[in-house]
Amino acid sequence: MAQYDLDQMRSGDVKSTRMSDNTGKIGRKIEDAENRGDVKEVLRLAQAREISFYKTKEARDFEKLQKQGDKLFKKHKKIEVPGFKDEDSAAYHDFIQLLLGDVGKTINRRYEDVKAEF
Q: What percent of the chain has pLDDT over 90?
A: 31
pLDDT at 97: 79
pLDDT at 114: 67
pLDDT at 30: 95
Rounded Cα gap, residues 66 and 83, in angstroms: 24
Q: What percent of the chain has pLDDT over 70?
A: 80
What is the mean predicted confidence (pLDDT) over 66-72? 85
pLDDT at 28: 94
Indicate if the pLDDT at residue 13 is higher than 60.
yes
